[in-house]
Structure 1
Amino acid sequence: MRAIRAQRRPATPAELARRLDPKFRVTPTIRLLSDLAVRSVNEPDERDAVSTPPRTGKSRMLAIWTSVWALMQNPDLEIVIVSYSDELAQVHSREVRKIINEHGDFLGFRLARDKTAVGQWRVEGHEGGVLATGINSGVTGFGADLMIIDDPVKDAAEADSKAHRKRVLNEFQSTLSTRVHPGGSILLVMTRWHEEDLAGALLKQDPKRWRRTNIPAVSDAKIPDALGRPPGVAMISALGYTAADFAATRRMVGERVWFALYCGEPKTPAGSLVKAAWLDGWRLPVAPARPVFTVVAVDPSDSGEGDSCGLVATSMTAGGVVAMIADISAPMTSDAWAVAAVDLAVKVGASQITVEGFSARETYVRVVRAAIGRAVEAGTLGREIRVTSWPPKGRARVGDAVARSAALLQALETGTCRLAGHFPDFEIKAVAWQAGQHQPDNLAALVIGHDECVHAAGLEWDMAAPLTEGQGAASDGPERGGSVVSMDDWMSRKIG
């Protein structure tokens, strides 16, 4: 009986892995992924987007064992393995080659001796083989009966870059997808860091063709679970992770990483830092009629490509409410956004333009002042506009983007900062923003505009108890006599 089982050809990649690797453990997750791989090899035109927690064996199952099993079924299959770098793709290819070299007799095929490069090789006596390449390295001289895209994005920073997401999508559409033979299948395996990542874009563009398979570490009623578990059930881990281990991981990594890496969700089900209910509940129908202060706020960009320049206008009402009255954020060069900021200031009657100056404070201020000078010469501006940088000199840069946004978030929640009208692009990005992600540029600009309005209206004070006589600016310092007095005593003192 044992001899019969040894001669039987494995029906799935999981069965093959278990046969050749005694340490390989087939969990429910691995079994499901293995069945999905069988469908991709045996059925034409399959399109699957897969996400599971790290350290579950998904890459080894889908990129390595599936490749070996597929060539065992048909040595003429051409397989393309794609990753975010040539190095990672070739690691997978090297593992496939190792298995073939060690178990060629059992598998029934060997590597061709004349085509033995790690990144591109063929099966001896057949047309099949593997090409392993980075997402941006191109696919030349090789087609794909099966394309396995494993981790096309390196990390959250790449996923948060609009320019990088666009490059990955363009590479898939213009190069990778064109190499797939008629009837060929694609397996996409990735961490869902962003709603508009490659998986998100493909599922949105062609939802009838692409199938999503998601297995969260712990099942949640609001998160798709291909295993169909009731809420709150931890996955069976090949490495022995328990529900307590996953809970500790969640506390350690934070919500954004937890939901992206361990739940396959690019945003938390509970929502982001900015709630849509805040924006809708406090919305103003139009801009304030008689604002006491209006400022144009700029979160600058330099190249005009990729990330946008955040460019908004905010007004302070007599009642102490800050209203965002305009948003013209877009990818712009420094000269272009400086001109746009001046034009917007003229349009909304702003008396000040404030530019975020963490990296090039003096340069940005100079560029805006030059644009103001040209507007004055052209006759389109007949009044003074003050130009400042943010944060003001002397005020320390506070923490990360979330920390700097704390006052704005509280104001949006309580209604002391409101949207005057509807700003669809701003609202979509604001509501999707989560801790750990790149802050949307127009939201970053609103942080500046809100802060400038609040300080200009005197709603945030810096108080200090004054020194007694003899410790003024002309003295040599506190050590020359006198003492600190209470503010009440100082304010109620007699003059003269």
Structure 2
Amino acid sequence: MRGEYDRLLILTPPQVGKSTTVAEWASFWWLCLFPQDRVAITSSGDDLAQKRGKTIRGYVEEYSDEFGLRMPPGVGAMQDWSVTEGGGVRSVSVGKGLTGHDGNLLIVDDPHKDRADAESEAFRRHLHDWYSSTALKRLQPDRNAVVAIQTRWHPDDFAGRRIAEEGRIEDGGRWKVIRLPAIADPKFGPDPLGRAPGEPLPHPKIPSKNKKRLRRGGTT
């Protein structure tokens, strides 16, 4: 929003609430700030993507009075919908569904379903081609941003290729990379959450005071 960068990678272990925070709440927050913008959410499967779109629509309906967002009367779609100000959300699986649909914010949410997907050379090639040849070309020139959220599975997975091709901001590249390991480790630099070395990452299904369970594997 401040224009400090327009490419963001968030790397975490699985099942720590990253998609809820970034794909759902952050997309809603973006619409509150820029209600005329189009947000595209892509996930590893259609069901996941549509779930994101449905959840964000629910936020718009629930908090419409507080943030001034309104749905046009009679709109029942969950995959592709708009607000009265002109913006809206389109949610599809990675690799398809964006042709002919422009956007300002692209969310790439867990582009690899699992390790097997990430280790498939054919899948990686298809994913990289889709991103460069289709997804990026749908972004509007006036204001655009890409946020990718994933667990690292392979050196040439989505995050690995982006870093290799465009680099990290601190090295003069384009991508701001936020790494949140399961256990805070100073070898990765200062912890983005301010955790002390050895402190586990919070988990939505494990009480934060239960450090033993968190360290034992709740966030692996």
TM-score, normalising length: structure 1: 0.40
For 2:81 and 2:160, the matched residues in 1 are separated by 32
Equivalent residue, structure 2, for 1:152 = 111
**Is the 1:44–1:185 Cα contact (8 Å) retained in structure 2?**
no
**Is the 1:78–1:129 Cα contact (8 Å) retained in structure 2?**
yes
**Is the 1:48–1:188 Cα contact (8 Å) retained in structure 2?**
yes
SS in 2 for 1:149: strand
Partner AA of 1:216 in structure 2: P
Partner AA of 1:180 in structure 2: L
Equivalent residue, structure 2, for 1:214 = 179
Equivalent residue, structure 1, for 2:50 = 90
Residues 106 and 247 from structure 1, CA distance in 2 versus in 1: closer, same or farther, beyond 3 angstroms? closer
Partner AA of 2:186 in structure 1: A
- Unaligned 5+ runs, structure 1: 1-40, 251-260, 263-496
For 2:101 and 2:67, the matched residues in 1 are separated by 23
Partner AA of 2:185 in structure 1: D
Equivalent residue, structure 1, for 2:120 = 161
Segment drifting more, 49-58 vs 139-148: 49-58
**Aligned structure 1 segments of 4 or more residues deviating by more than 6 angstroms:** none
For 1:44 and 1:244, the matched residues in 2 are separated by 38
For 2:46 and 2:179, the matched residues in 1 are separated by 26
Return the offset for 1:44: 7.0
SS in 2 for 1:71: helix
**Is the 1:45–1:184 Cα contact (8 Å) retained in structure 2?**
no
1:61 counterpart (14, 18, 21): 21
Equivalent residue, structure 2, for 1:50 = 10
Partner AA of 1:215 in structure 2: L
**Is the 2:5–2:175 Cα contact (8 Å) retained in structure 1?**
no
For 2:193 and 2:66, the matched residues in 1 are separated by 32
Return the offset for 1:95: 0.5
For 1:135 and 1:90, the matched residues in 2 are separated by 12
- Unaligned 5+ runs, structure 2: 168-172
SS in 2 for 1:64: helix
**Is the 1:53–1:216 Cα contact (8 Å) retained in structure 2?**
yes
Equivalent residue, structure 2, for 1:185 = 145
Residues 62 and 133 from structure 1, CA distance in 2 versus in 1: closer, same or farther, beyond 3 angstroms? same
1:204 counterpart (164, 168, 185): 164
**Is the 1:86–1:137 Cα contact (8 Å) retained in structure 2?**
no
RCO greater where, 1 or 2, for CA within 8 Å and sep 6 or more? Answer: 2
SS in 2 for 1:222: helix
2:217 counterpart (249, 255, 266): 249
For 2:33 and 2:106, the matched residues in 1 are separated by 16
**Is the 1:144–1:179 Cα contact (8 Å) retained in structure 2?**
yes
- Residue pairs, 1:96-495, within 5 angstroms: 96-113=56-73, 115-124=75-84, 126-182=85-141, 183-207=143-167, 208-224=173-189, 225-238=191-204, 239-241=206-208, 242-249=210-217, 262=220
Return the offset for 1:185: 0.5
Return the offset for 1:223: 3.5
SS in 1 for 2:152: coil
**Is the 1:78–1:146 Cα contact (8 Å) retained in structure 2?**
yes
**Identity rate of aligned residues, in percent?**
32
For the pair shown, which has the larger CA radius of gyration, 1 or 2?
1
Alignment RMSD: 2.0
SS in 1 for 2:42: strand
Residues 42 and 115 from structure 1, CA distance in 2 versus in 1: closer, same or farther, beyond 3 angstroms? farther
Return the offset for 1:56: 2.8
TM-score, normalising length: structure 2: 0.87
SS in 2 for 1:187: strand
Return the offset for 1:115: 4.7
For 1:51 and 1:113, the matched residues in 2 are separated by 39
Equivalent residue, structure 1, for 2:40 = 80
Return the offset for 1:113: 3.1
Partner AA of 1:204 in structure 2: A
CA deviation map 1:326-371 (0-9, x unaligned): xxxxxxxxxxxxxxxxxxxxxxxxxxxxxxxxxxxxxxxxxxxxxx
Partner AA of 1:199 in structure 2: A
Partner AA of 2:112 in structure 1: V
**Is the 1:218–1:243 Cα contact (8 Å) retained in structure 2?**
no
Return the offset for 1:230: 4.0
